[in-house]
Structure 1
Amino acid sequence: MSDHDGPLPDKSENASDLIVVDWESADDPENPLNWSKPRKCLVTFMAIMTTLIALMNGTIITVAHEALDEQFNVSEATFPHSYWPVTSWALGGAFFSLIILPMMEDFGVRTAFLLTHLVFIIFLIPQALAQNFATLIVTRFFAGGCVTVLGNSSASVIGNIWEFEEQRTIPVGLWVLAYLSGSSIGPVIGAAIFQFLDWRWISYIQLIWNGVLFPVNFVVFKESRDTVVLKRRAKKLRAAGKNVYTQHELEAKTIVEVLITSVARPLKMLTTESVVFFCALWSAFTVGTLYLFTQSVEQVFIGLYGWDPVKAGYIQAAIVVGQVLGWPFTLISAHLYFKSARRNTELPGVPIPEARLYMSIGGAIFGLTGGMFVYAWTSYPSLPWIAPAVGLAMVGLGSVIVVTGIIDYVVDAYSRYAGSAMAAVVLCENTLSAFLPLATMSMYNTLDFNWASTLLGFISLLLTVAPICFLLWGDKIRQRSPFMKEAMIGKRAEVLHSMQP
């Protein structure tokens, strides 16, 4: 199976008749880059809103773990077995990001987005009606996979319709905010539902708002992948008897080749590229910590103040508040990045990729690490609850700054291989989000509240060493990397092309 319709043209006999279709002009109205600004803003808003609502599914059920234990006879005396539905959800995301997502690219963003959204809605039904714990675990695996495709499709839409990096700064920053805060606000929304209704209503209400969101997306979303739009144009011309193909069709790979590349290249980059490895580890720890809080916050606030799980769910709103407050810092980070082009001696006029890390390092030290230490050493019953909540907010603030910086840096440094590099990052994020929280109960019981969070703070501080090294020796690292070196050559060609009259 290849990503074109019909046989490839006979290059030897029909070369003179072969037409490679492209946009008719720079103002071609079918080019997604030429959509009107109001339309772009509407599509971006819906992509971000869908990401936010879908990501809630990962953690929204955690607040009802006692009801699940009672319903399905699950014991948490020595191990947090109620977290397995979240673990399976995250593992589904890891699997789909490597296996399913690349195969869906040639179907187009609109088809992949709407089909996945519909399947996600279908898998919400057995989450609400589950009669045993195994059903909940299995169905949430596929739900988590669908959410990963939805989130990546939303990010693709933003990249497809906003042409320049400056234009993408705010949309990408808001998408990262939705991606992270969706997971963090899940327990808050779950607490608001579970306080008044049965745990099954957590899924019923998700069915309702996704059911309302789907038809809106159906109307709003049009195909935004340029290769797919051109492919459809070529198909119409071929139906009229013309020998027309897109460049993408001429260079088509079989679905097997696409699948092998989509699995092998991210794993290769993860094991051979120091930048990918440490960025993936840094981002995975940051995102995994947000999932860890769904377990530790309840332990800490119930242990210190005697709260119930619902009230402990509400307090996680502090993380979301911190994430919202952290978003403006991503705009400052973008300003510093674009300003770095003035002093780039390696590639004059092009921003330095490592400039994306300036604010991220600060966010990691003063946000993630500092927040962990505050969360650790304010965990005393004699102190008011607002004190550890401030630590949670600081971690939330740092998480947005760090993850946004990592995404931007990896995309800039690897250019045409950014998709594979980000697949490696997403794989690590989902894997650590799946398993790190399983150790929370034992860690916080063994080390106590103070030292367990302190340990996480020291790990965060240690991980910050890697981006500092990237700042100091970034040019040398890029010269030794075949992937990054090729990306640099491509950027140099783009600069020379832009300078031509």
Structure 2
Amino acid sequence: MSTVIAAHTADKLASARSPPRRDESRQSPLHDGLDSRTASTEKTVTVLEWDGPNDPGNPYNWSKQRKWLVTAAALTSTLIVPLNGTSITVASAAINEQFDVQDYSNFSNSYWTVTSWSLGGALFIVVLLPIMEDVGVRIGYIVTYIFFLLMIIPQALAQNFATLVVTRFFSGGCVALLANTISSVIPDIWAGDKARNRPVGLYIMLYLTGSTLGPPLFAPVMEFIGDWRWIFYIQLIIYTAIFPLFFLLLRETRGTVILRRRAAHLRKTTGRAIYTQSELDSPPLTQRLLKAMTRPAYLLFTEPVLFASTLWSAFSFGTVFLFTQSAEQVFSGVYGWSSASTGYVQSAIVVGEILGWGAAMYSSRLYLRSSTRNTESPGRPIPEARLYVSVFASFFGVVGGMFVYAWTSYPHIPWIAPAIGLAMVGFGIQVVISAVADYITDAYAASDYAGSAISAVAAGENLVAAFLPLAAQSMYTNLGFQWASTLLGFLALLLSFAPVVFIWKGRQLRARSPFMQTGAQGKA
């Protein structure tokens, strides 16, 4: 989510259910020549709010054209920045030869460059994301993007393997921050689940396809140029060329930051003690950082629903990275393909992910329709309705695809058969990760634990993406192509029962959780 998940910036998706509104029971309008409406809470402190529901500075009030322009820029970033993660896998043999790195029959040392990338993502999400929430979308994105570009330069010029491993740790962390910063744009400017449905679905799909497209897009570099450094030279060209687009189009979308800047300007020009509610309520940064680092782990190991959901989503996301290893072993071992050709075949996963986006959109429609039959909180969608389509996607897509991939990997069976298995898994991955992100957000929506819960999921996804592929070399060598993929299929089968249990007993499970009870009762 990974991230991903990161997919969503959870506190935004959980709390930004409707546009900010003034609390009429506490506020009395005080214009005093100010551009925004204020309310006195004490004799000397004034709380700044929006200047009515139609305040043009409120991102919810932007024109639809402007919203889609900003969203398009954000989604473009979501697609291209993850390419840095997996693109290096098509050059593993060339990098090993230049830096004398040894891949053994039971372990692939070349994969440490991707493991460090994913570990950076897991750490940066937990530790640095709260700081990004303070500085705002625009400044946070631009600063992180520039540092990301600087980290790609030593990857292109590296003179030893350690340089690649270290610098990719930081570039992976930057990608995680960029993706989560971009994901917050959607709930910042689109009000309500129905309005966010399409852009959120596109965000998750583009992040996954961006993570998957690295090998097929950069395989021609190794096939026609033959110099692995051009993988990073091309990335530098792309990322530098498109930076002006982000600089011009990505404006500040975070309402709390916009108001905070207004308040700071008014304090400076009027000399009055004018603050936003978020400034008054926000604890010190050190306290928030400590909570951001400890609360996700605490929830993960005390909340069975969150633990099972994290395992389910993390395994699905980890298979994207695992296929960068297993596809080369299978298609080169069975069909004698070159490393570049095995990179191309991974585009089948992308096809599946795009098809999965359509299924995820249908899932969102089922979720919204469930509000008419919700006896727990009438008028509100049922959280477990997020999971209906994911059951089919998990059993048919991830599990079925793994078995197809396993038992069609024979020389006498055309290559398209295991490629179809890859596409099926891609379909399942897209729906599962979307469902988990939405379900966890809804389950914790009315409490202040949603951000920590999603951080746990995102960190879990990055950790599994870091370490699961390290087992691929040993599994596919010792168990054989068929039984290695079959083992993964059985693991997926076990995890696929999680949504079935949630749909069956989700209401009772939420009622037993002290962190989800508020959400279960439907409170705002």
Give TM class, smaller chain: over 0.9
Contact 2:115 2:466 in 1 (8 A): yes
Contact 1:125 1:207 in 2 (8 A): yes
Work out the percentage of aligned pairs sharing the same amino acid.
Answer: 54
Q: Distance in 1 between matches of 2:209 and 2:294?
A: 31
Give the equivalent residue in structure 1 for 2:127. 99
Tell me which moved more, 206-215 or 128-137: 206-215
Q: By how many angstroms is 1:14 displaced?
A: 9.0
Matched, 1:356 2:386: yes
Give the equivalent residue in structure 2 for 1:499. none
Deviations 1:151-191, CA, capped at 9 Å, x for gaps: 10111111111111011111111111111111111101120
Contact 2:41 2:47 in 1 (8 A): no
1:446 to 453, 468, 478: 478
Matched, 1:414 2:414: no
Q: Distance in 2 between matches of 1:417 and 1:165?
A: 19
1:458 to 490, 507, 524: 490
Matched, 1:492 2:523: yes
Give the equivalent residue in structure 2 for 1:179. 207
* Aligned positions, number: 480
Q: Distance in 2 between matches of 1:154 and 1:378?
A: 39
Give the equivalent residue in structure 1 for 2:165. 137
Q: Distance in 2 between matches of 1:214 and 1:450?
A: 44
Tell me which moved more, 373-382 or 48-57: 48-57
Matched, 1:310 2:310: no
Give the equivalent residue in structure 1 for 2:74. 47
Q: Distance in 2 between matches of 1:235 and 1:486?
A: 34
Matched, 1:373 2:403: yes
Q: By how many angstroms is 1:371 displaced?
A: 0.4
- What SS class does the counterpart of residue 177 from structure 2 fall into? helix
- What SS class does the counterpart of residue 426 from structure 2 fall into? helix
- What SS class does the counterpart of residue 515 from structure 2 fall into? helix
Give the equivalent residue in structure 2 for 1:259. 289
Give the equivalent residue in structure 2 for 1:152. 180
Give the equivalent residue in structure 1 for 2:248. 219
Deviations 1:111-134, CA, capped at 9 Å, x for gaps: 111111111011010000000000
- What SS class does the counterpart of residue 516 from structure 2 fall into? helix
1:63 to 87, 90, 115: 90
Q: By how many angstroms is 1:268 displaced?
A: 0.9
Matched, 1:35 2:62: yes
Contact 2:267 2:273 in 1 (8 A): yes
Give the unaligned 5+ runs of structure 2: 1-39
Q: Aligned letter for 2:48?
A: V
Q: Aligned letter for 2:391?
A: I
Q: Aligned letter for 1:160?
A: D
Q: Aligned letter for 2:307?
A: F
Q: How does 1:262-277 map to 2 (within 5 A)?
A: 262-277=292-307
Give the equivalent residue in structure 2 for 1:393. 423
Structure 1 or 2: larger helix share?
1
Tell me which moved more, 463-472 or 60-69: 463-472
Give the equivalent residue in structure 2 for 1:237. 266
Q: Distance in 2 between matches of 1:341 and 1:15?
A: 41
Q: Distance in 2 between matches of 1:192 and 1:318?
A: 16
Give the equivalent residue in structure 1 for 2:373. 343
Contact 2:152 2:171 in 1 (8 A): yes
Deviations 1:125-155, CA, capped at 9 Å, x for gaps: 0000000000000000000000000110111
- What SS class does the counterpart of residue 369 from structure 1 fall into? helix
Q: Aligned letter for 1:185?
A: L
Give the equivalent residue in structure 1 for 2:13. none
Contact 2:80 2:210 in 1 (8 A): yes
Matched, 1:191 2:219: yes
Q: Distance in 2 between matches of 1:40 and 1:279?
A: 32
Q: Aligned letter for 1:417?
A: Y
Q: Distance in 1 between matches of 2:369 and 2:109?
A: 50
Deviations 1:352-394, CA, capped at 9 Å, x for gaps: 0010000111100000000001001100000111010000000
Give the unaligned 5+ runs of structure 1: 1-12, 494-501
Give the equivalent residue in structure 2 for 1:87. 115
Residues 14 and 61 of structure 1, relative CA distance in 2, 3 Å threshold: closer
Q: By how many angstroms is 1:42 displaced?
A: 1.4
Give the equivalent residue in structure 2 for 1:167. 195
Q: By how many angstroms is 1:486 displaced?
A: 2.1
Q: Distance in 2 between matches of 1:285 and 1:22?
A: 43
Contact 2:396 2:428 in 1 (8 A): yes
Q: Distance in 1 between matches of 2:501 and 2:208?
A: 26
Q: Distance in 1 between matches of 2:399 and 2:125?
A: 29
Q: Distance in 2 between matches of 1:114 and 1:414?
A: 31
Q: Aligned letter for 2:479?
A: L
Give the equivalent residue in structure 2 for 1:382. 412
Moved over 6 A (4+): none
Q: TM-score normalized by structure 1?
A: 0.94
CA-based RMSD: 1.2
Matched, 1:467 2:499: yes
Deviations 1:415-446, CA, capped at 9 Å, x for gaps: 14221111000111111101110110110111
Q: By how many angstroms is 1:237 displaced?
A: 1.1
Contact 2:132 2:181 in 1 (8 A): no
Q: Distance in 1 between matches of 2:420 and 2:357?
A: 17
Contact 2:328 2:343 in 1 (8 A): yes
1:281 to 287, 296, 311: 311
Q: TM-score normalized by structure 2?
A: 0.90
Contact 1:184 1:319 in 2 (8 A): yes
Q: By how many angstroms is 1:275 displaced?
A: 1.4
Give the equivalent residue in structure 2 for 1:8. none
Contact 1:103 1:258 in 2 (8 A): no
Larger RCO (alpha carbons 8 Å, 6+ apart): 2
Q: Distance in 2 between matches of 1:269 and 1:248?
A: 25
Deviations 1:393-413, CA, capped at 9 Å, x for gaps: 000111101111111101111
Q: Distance in 2 between matches of 1:254 and 1:134?
A: 37
Contact 2:86 2:114 in 1 (8 A): yes
- What SS class does the counterpart of residue 196 from structure 1 fall into? helix
Give the equivalent residue in structure 2 for 1:432. 464
Q: Aligned letter for 2:484?
A: A
1:18 to 26, 45, 51: 45
Q: Aligned letter for 1:376?
A: A
Give the equivalent residue in structure 2 for 1:324. 354
Q: By how many angstroms is 1:252 displaced?
A: 2.1
Q: Distance in 2 between matches of 1:180 and 1:275?
A: 24
